[in-house]
């Protein structure tokens, strides 16, 4: 059973990192003022729409700094407008798809998706369902390789409806499959909520993993993460190159 990739399990990060999350997030937020310098030197966007999806028990308020940064770079950055992210529900998928299709039709262009933690799972599934409407996916500390490798797994069941353990592992294997659009996974080895190894893309064309040093809670406003997002969104549509690193 252990040789079957369906049964791979990583587990959450150490409790020591979890205990440091709040203090580190405050420090990361304090450093957000450095974004002004980043805005001055980052490449300007082409005005295409960007849909930003929040993490578990968070909403558009949590992604406001990120969306403001992207608007400063001339993107039409939008929130999901669905209140708090309470985890997967029966009506969530059609609502997300409607939001994506609305933005794509309104602009007459493909939409870039930026998803934070659980929001990154949603972003990847939107890209899987509508690859013709999605330009690129950028995930922030998203455990798509092992959705149970997070302390939040204690709060949201990964086996809804009493699914069998085999079905839960099949779901985990499915979520880890690459998406059919360019994808960048941003992760931190010192993440106290999600184990960093659960955020790693498989090696392959037009997908990559980029490491930054920040807390899980600070991913959406840490200047290094913002630099990666800005660089990825600035790539011309239909063209891709690996991220070149932080200067």
Q: What is the pLDDT of residues 70-87, one digit of tens each?
A: 999 999 999 999 999 988
pLDDT of residue 1: 34
Report the C-alpha gap between 59 and 21 in whole angstroms: 19
Domain ranges of the chain: 11-233
Average pLDDT over residues 5-17: 56
CATH number for the segment(s) 11-233: 3.40.50.1820
Phi, psi of 121 (to 5 degrees): -60, -45
Residue listed under structure tokens 């807390």? 215
pTM for the whole structure: 0.86
Is pLDDT of 5 > 50? no
Q: How far is CA 144 from CA 12, 36, 47, 102, in A?
A: 13, 32, 29, 26
**Pair of tokens at residue 224:** 């290094």
């Amino acid at each position: 059973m252990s040789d079957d990739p369906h049964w791979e399990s990583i587990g959450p990060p150490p409790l020591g990192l979890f205990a440091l999350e709040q203090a580190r997030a405050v420090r990361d937020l304090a450093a957000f003022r450095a974004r002004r310098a980043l805005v001055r030197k980052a490449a300007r966007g082409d005005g295409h729409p960007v849909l930003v999806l929040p993490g578990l028990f968070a909403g558009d308020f949590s992604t406001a700094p990120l969306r403001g940064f992207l608007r400063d770079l001339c993107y039409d950055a939008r929130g999901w407008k669905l209140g708090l992210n309470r985890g997967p529900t029966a009506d969530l998928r059609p609502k997300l798809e409607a939001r994506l299709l609305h933005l794509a039709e309104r602009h007459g262009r493909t939409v870039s998706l930026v998803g934070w933690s659980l929001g990154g799972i949603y972003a990847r599934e939107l890209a899987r369902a509508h690859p013709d409407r999605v330009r690129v996916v950028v995930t922030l500390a998203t455990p798509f390789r092992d959705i149970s490798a997070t302390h939040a797994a204690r709060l949201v069941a990964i086996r809804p409806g009493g699914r069998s353990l085999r079905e839960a592992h099949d779901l985990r294997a499915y979520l880890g499959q690459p998406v059919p659009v360019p994808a960048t996974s941003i992760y931190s080895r010192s993440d106290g909520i999600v184990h960093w190894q659960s955020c790693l893309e498989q090696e392959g064309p037009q997908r990559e993993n980029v490491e930054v040093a920040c807390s899980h809670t600070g991913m959406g406003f840490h200047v290094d993460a913002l630099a990666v997002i800005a660089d990825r969104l600035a790539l011309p549509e239909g063209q891709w190159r690996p991220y070149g690193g932080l200067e």
